[in-house]
Amino acid sequence: MKSQEEIAISRSKKDYNEAVKSVCCGMTVKFKPTWAGRNVENIQYRQGKVVAKYEHHFRVRLGKVYECFKYTDVMLGEVQVMNR
């Protein structure tokens, strides 16, 4: 029988894998700018396109600016996938 810790780890790995699969190149995503900080509420979300996907992070282009996000940001809701 699995312990509670093993169950929690397997669930988080499953959620992480789903987050990785949900992001693809060419997708539109909504995100808060990284310079705004995590807990700022009055900052508007911005839309950009995913231009590159790596093992632990992905790159989003907004105009001439590129920002990198981790897949955990998708899990936490800081980056929202708009279309698939």
Alpha-carbon distance 53 to 32, whole Å? 19
Q: What is the pLDDT of residue 52?
A: 95
Please report where in the chains the tokens 């949900």 appear, as a residue: 22
pLDDT in tens, 13-42: 778 888 888 899 999 999 887 776 666 677
User: Torsions phi, psi of 11, nearest 5?
Assistant: -65, -40
At the topology level, CATH places domain 4-81 in SH3 type barrels. (2.30.30)
Question: Cα–Cα distance between 62 and 27 in angstroms, integer?
Answer: 12
Q: How far is CA 54 from CA 24, 37, 84, in A?
A: 10, 23, 18
Q: Please say if the pLDDT value at position 1 is more than 60.
A: no
Give the pLDDT confidence of 52-67 residue by residue, as tens digits. 999 889 999 999 999 9
Per-residue pLDDT averaged across 59-83, rounded? 88
Q: What is the pTM of this model?
A: 0.77
Torsion, CA 76, CA 77, CA 80, CA 84, rounded to 10: 50
Domain locations in the chain as residue ranges: 4-81
